[in-house]
Amino acid sequence: MKIAVDERIRGLMKENGLSQVALAKKIGVKQNTVSAWVLGKKEPCIENLWRLADYFGVSVDYLVGRADD
């Protein structure tokens, strides 16, 4: 199963009109960290998956492609 984190983060950022810089500030990480995620170079650690899920109001399962909602 392919983990869809990069696609999901990009989609959520677009839906919410967020830049990488804005998202990084909202969840307390550096912009280059968000960049690595959306480019598929790195995957967020579990703590950052929790932060992303909480911020966007989605589940971690959604972020990693295990659920569609």
Residue 53: give its domain's CATH number: 1.10.260.40
**What does the pLDDT read at residue 2?**
57
**What does the pLDDT read at residue 15?**
97
Asked whether residue 25 is domain-assigned, the answer is: yes
Alpha carbon distance 6, 38 (integer Å): 4
Asked whether residue 67 is domain-assigned, the answer is: no
Q: For the chain, 69 residues long, give each residue's pLDDT as a single digit of tens.
A: 456 899 999 999 999 999 999 999 999 999 999 999 999 899 999 999 999 999 999 999 999 988 887
Domain that includes residue 37, residue range: 5-62
Closest-CA residue to 6 (of 52, 33, 43): 43
> What's the one-letter identity of residue 6?
D
CA-CA distances (angstroms) from residue 37 to 5, 49? 7, 11
Alpha carbon distance 59, 40 (integer Å): 19
**What does the pLDDT read at residue 5?**
92
